[in-house]
Every structure is written in structure tokens, then in C-alpha cells.
Amino acid sequence: MKNLILILLAISGLLYGCYYDDVTTADQLDVVATSYNLEAIESGNFITYSIPDSILHHDANNDSDHQFDQIILDEIKQNLDDYGYTEVNPSLTTPDLIVLPEVLTNEQYEWGGCWDCWYWWDPWYPGWGWGYYPPTPGYVYSYETGSIIITIIDQNAIQEQDENSKALWVSVINGVLRQNLTKARINELIDQAFVQSPYLDQN
């Protein structure tokens, strides 16, 4: 499953890189990728699910921003409910599906103006936005890229400890964590992951 997530991240990163120079708004950098096991989805009788009440964050700097966690959880639940699934308390009822939400955050650096000007770069320049040192011939700026990863697993496969079992569905929503990111945009991206996955619909 880790390999699958890495592949999806690589694909979304490739799409991101292909048109980076042509973007005019940050929203254009958002990519939604999904992978699924259609045979397992269609052969299973999945009705119930459980989801943690918190999101697992992967951040090398250990300073993850949790302000959007509840928004992400609520929208995942809303889409699953709309598709005919029912959330259950796993301590009371064994769910058919386990839904695992994660957030992966990385800091990226970009440079411009001069390809041979690395000696001008101060790697300790703080944070968000432009790190420009006139009259140097180039500039470097940093920004955070973040991915929302949603994985759906068959609970029976976990109980049977099937080492060959695969995730039923994985979505990687890759984009830029930006200061003006809104609840509406997060919801739109999560919704898109389910819109492009009609085979999950149990209605």
C-alpha cells in the first residue's frame, strides 16, 4: 500500500511539475489522483465504516498545522454517507471498512532569475513567500506542499491478516498549503476524489 501511495504522489507531482510555469492561481496546482481495486469493491458487501477522530500527520519538521483536520474528517464522512455507507463505533460494531485519513507535508524551494546563483541562497531565510536579496542575480523562495491521503481498507482483510490484501481505494489530493486555503476549496477537492470514484456508490 505504501508503494501505491508513493506512485500516486509521483503522478500528482509529475502533473504539478508539467504546468507549474503556466499557472496563474494557486488552485491550479491542486491534483486529485485515485487508485482502486474494482474487483474487491464490486464483490464485497460493504455497508458500514469507521474512521478515526483525528488525522495522522507526516511532517519532517514536526510542526503540522491541524486547523483543517476537522474539515477534512467531516467532508470525508459526508461523502461516504452520501454514497450509502453508515459510520459505526468500532468498539460496539465491527465495521466493513476502515477509513484512514493522513496529511503529508513537505517544504519545497524554488529559484529563478539565474541558474548558476546557488551561492546567493541563504537556506535559513524564514518561511513563506519571496526570499529576495537585491542586487543579487537570482532569488529563492520556499513554500509548503501538502497532500491529503485517504485510504479505504476492507476490515475482513485486516482480521484475516491477509498479507496479499490491498487497499480497496486510495486517493491522494496534492496541492499547495497556502495561507488563503479555504474550507470550500478543501471540500471541493475531497468531493472530487469521490466524484471520480462512482464505483464506491452503494445507492
pLDDT in tens, 123-180: 433 333 333 333 444 444 444 567 888 999 998 877 666 555 568 999 988 865 555 6
As given in the structure block, the three cell numbers for residue 193 are 476524489
For residue 126, say if its preceding peptide bond is cis, omega within 30 degrees of 0.
no
d(CA 140, CA 121): 7
- pLDDT of the residue at 124: 38
- pLDDT of the residue at 61: 66
Q: Could you tell me how far CA 71 lies from the centroid of its own chain? A: 13
Residues 105, 63 contacting (CB under 8 angstroms): no
CATH topology of domain 2-105+145-200: Double Stranded RNA Binding Domain (3.30.160)
Q: Is the pTM of this model over 0.75?
A: no
Domain boundaries, the chain: 2-105+145-200
111: enclosing H helix or E strand: strand 97-112
The answer on pLDDT for 58 being more than 70 is yes
As given in the structure block, the three cell numbers for residue 45 are 458487501
